Structure formats: C-alpha cells, structure tokens
Amino acid sequence: MSKKDRMSGNEAVAYAIRQINPDVMPAFPITPSTEIPQMVSTYIANGEMDTEFIPVESEHSSMSAAIGAEAAGARSLTATSSAGLALMWEELLLAASNRMPLVLALVNRTLSGPININCDHSDSMGARDTGWIQIYAENNQEAYDNFIQAYPIAEDKRVHLPVMICQDGFITSHAVENILLEEDAAVKEFVGEYNPEEFLLNPGKPIAVGPYSISSYAMEARYNQELAMENSKEVILEVAKKFKEKFGRGFELFEEYRTEDADYIMLIMGSAAGTAKQAVDDLREKGMKVGVLKLRVFRPFPAEEIAMALKNCKAVAIMDRTESYNGHGGPLASEVTAGLYRSKVMIETVCYTYGLAGRDFTVETAYEIFDELKDVAENGKKVKQHRYIGLRSKERS
C-alpha cells in the first residue's frame, strides 16, 4: 500500500535507489545532483542497503566504474548534472555501444558558459545521440516512479541499453512536494533481481573487449543499437502498464492534457509542464480550447505518435529548454517538425526557446504563447519561427 510523505526530487530518487538496492554506485559530487549520492551513502552507512559505494575522482571515473561493474554482471548506477555529464561524454557512448543496462540519475542543469548552476536541458539534450534512453519527469512523484521503472526497461533482453532518468535541477530536485511512496518489498518485487544471461567480463566465457572495431563490424553494431532503441519503445510501454497495475499510477510515452478537442497545444518537457497545465485550466474557463502535450520519453523519440496526437489541432507551440544554434529552434523543434512532415500532418508550428539557465517560465508567459498561436492560425500572423521567450529585452521575443 502506498504511503504519503513529503520529499524533494533528490530525496525521492535516493529513496528509490535504497529500495532497489543496486550492487554498485560510483559517484562524484556536482550541484544540483550531489544530494543523491550523499543520501545513498548515508543509507549504506546506516545499514539500510548493501550497495557498494565507490567515491571516485571525477565524473568520467564514475561512469567508467559503473561500466566496469555492469560489465562484471553487477547492477550499477551513478548520478550527475551539467558539466559532470559532459566530462563523462566518452563513457556515455561506451556504455551504450557495449549494451550496458545501467542507470543514470541526471539532475538537469545548464552547461557553461557563462557558468550557471540553474536548470535547463542543455546537458541531457547534448547527450541525446549517445545511444541512451531518456525519460523526463514533471515533478517529484514522476522522478521517483520513473527511476523504479528504469531497470526493468534497461535490462529487458530486447533492449539492453542504458537509461537516463532526468529531472529539473532545483525546481524538482530541491523543492519538497507531497509524494506517494511504495513499500520496499513491492518495489523490490517489481524491479526484480538482476541475473544476466550474458555479461562482458564473464570468467567462464573469456572474450576480448574493447579492441579496434574494423569497418566490417562497426556499422552492424550501430545498427543493432538502433534496433534495440526501437524495441525499447514497446518495453517502456509494457513496464509502464505493469507499474500502473501494481501501483495505480500510469504513464505513456507522453501525457495528453486536455488535448481531445484542443485547437492550440503546447508541447513541452519537464517541470514547466505543470505551469503550462495551469495556463490551460485558466484559459479553458475563458472558453479557449487549449491543451498540453507533455513529452515523457525523448529517446526513443515517438515521432509518429506525436504527429497523430497533434493532427487535429490548428497550431502547436514546441518548447525547447535548450539551444541548438542551428537558427531555427532546439532539438525538440527539429524532431517534432520532422515527425509532422513525415507523417504528412500539416499544421502550424511555432518553435520557442524558454527557461535557459533557470529563467522563469510563468503562467502569464504561457497565456501569451497560446494567444499568439491563435493569432497565427486564425489571422495568419507572421512570426519568427525561432523565438526566445522571456528575454529582458523584447527585441527578439
């Protein structure tokens, strides 16, 4: 039975880690994820879990150690943010290409420069093509729930890929919210024990690991990674269904909030989705048919599913909390518009960049975006497709 509590997002993830009790956790501190390994190490010191905690000298080392542990058949994880993720860049690619089903708790924080410790998605979006599954949380409850689902997804034999569980730095990681926690035994039963059929450093099956991959084989390895990523979509949905059956909270690849008859939809990820939902509720009371599509899973990217969910609206605002420096929008804008085009869904789109380095995203800002979408669809207003929202100067917004 669920029990009510109050926790920050970092506390919730650390609590989930304690319940899962993985084999190995190497970690190096970096704001705002530092609390996660700190809390886990406290659980270990108090005898509440028997995970092997490895303090290392850098984030590169933490991912290296996690890969080594996973290669030896141990369930492993680490946590990081921002420059920490950037420092382990090489290892992210190795974890995915070696098909390691480890988990990373990522607390989203902007990448330098200029140096800043607040939230945007530049760290995880920079790593979007490293071969990792990426799942995003709107709030503390989802951070907890997503982490519990991570290992059953990663370790499924159809997948065997690493999973990045993302939550917004400070906004969810440090803010305290009401939360439902599950019983230890129920979580342990849901996640199960890790007994891999195959692992790289199996002393009974010696093989060479890490030699130069000649051209005759490297491309096939990449193709198999892509097939696994495609398979993971089905597995994510299966795990989500089992989670709902067991704990009563349901998830899909994305959440559709009041979109059934919506003329104007905002497509967004992370904590800002809550702000967007409040704006939708307010505008619905005034008779405006608006909705929110909150993307939960960015990798694998559900392009066709999103296109079908948006096909009946008049216009969509695509919200990126990072910059791609391509002149026409962020990663989400590029992926969504490509998906719409390939599915032959011809609706109006406006691509917005918001909330960089912790810049506030308010309900009033959401009102303005929905009003602009209406003006675009009904009056043919011409707007710049690459739009910054919330600048101190209004010259570019």
Instruction: Say if residue 3's pLDDT is above 70.
Output: yes
Instruction: Note the pLDDT of residue 208.
Output: 79
Separation CA 138–CA 125 (nearest Å): 16
Instruction: Say if residue 149's pLDDT is above 60.
Output: yes
For the packed helices 35-45 and 9-20, what is the interaxial angle rounded to 10 degrees?
A: 40
Q: Is the separation of the CB atoms in 270 and 307 below 8 Å?
A: no
* Burial class, 133, CB count within 10 angstroms (exposed 0-12 / middle 13-18 / buried 19+): buried
Instruction: Say if residue 397's pLDDT is above 60.
Output: no
Amino acid of residue 297: V
Q: Is the separation of the CB atoms in 231 and 238 below 8 Å?
A: no
Long-range contacts of 355-358 (CB under 8 A, 24+ apart): 355/119, 355/120, 355/272, 355/321, 355/390, 356/110, 356/120, 356/122, 356/321, 356/322, 356/323, 357/110, 357/116, 357/118, 357/119, 357/120, 358/110, 358/116, 358/118, 358/119, 358/120, 358/170
Buried b (16+ CB within 10 A) or exposed e, 117-131: bbbbbbbbbbbbebb
Instruction: Note the pLDDT of residue 214.
Output: 87
Q: Is the separation of the CB atoms in 62 and 83 below 8 Å?
A: no
What is the total residue count of the chain?
A: 397
Q: Read out DSSP for 135-161?
A: EE-SSHHHHHHHHHHHHHHHTSTTT--
Helix, strand, coil share (%) of the chain residues, nearest 5: 40, 20, 40
Instruction: Say if residue 368's pLDDT is above 90.
Output: yes
Instruction: Say if residue 139's pLDDT is above 90.
Output: yes
Q: Is the separation of the CB atoms in 124 and 135 below 8 Å?
A: no
Separation CA 66–CA 100 (nearest Å): 9
For the packed helices 140-154 and 215-247, what is the interaxial angle rounded to 10 degrees?
A: 130
Interval 256-311: pLDDT, tens: 999 999 999 999 999 999 999 999 999 999 999 999 999 999 999 999 999 999 99
Confidence of residue 143 (pLDDT cuts 50, 70, 90): very high
Instruction: Note the pLDDT of residue 308.
Output: 98
Q: Is the separation of the CB atoms in 40 and 53 below 8 Å?
A: yes
Separation CA 136–CA 293 (nearest Å): 13
Q: Is the separation of the CB atoms in 136 and 270 below 8 Å?
A: yes
Interval 306-353: pLDDT, tens: 999 999 999 999 999 999 999 989 999 999 999 999 999 999 999 999
Helix (H/G/I), strand (E/B), else coil: 89: helix
| Structure tokens belonging to residue 203 | 């002393």
Interval 37-71: pLDDT, tens: 999 999 999 999 999 999 999 999 999 999 999 99
Separation CA 306–CA 102 (nearest Å): 28
| Structure tokens belonging to residue 183 | 């019983």
Structural domains in the chain, sorted by start: 3-247 (3.40.50.970), 254-388 (3.40.50.920)
Instruction: Note the pLDDT of residue 138.
Output: 98
Mean pLDDT of the chain: 96
Interval 236-250: pLDDT, tens: 999 999 999 999 999
Q: Is the separation of the CB atoms in 34 and 42 below 8 Å?
A: no
Cα-based torsion angle of the residue sequence 104, 108, 114, 117 in order, rounded to the nearest 10 degrees: -100
Instruction: Say if residue 209's pLDDT is above 80.
Output: no
Confidence of residue 394 (pLDDT cuts 50, 70, 90): low
Instruction: Say if residue 396's pLDDT is above 90.
Output: no
Interval 85-100: pLDDT, tens: 999 999 999 999 999 9
CA angle at 352 for the pair 147 and 358, rounded to the nearest 5°: 55
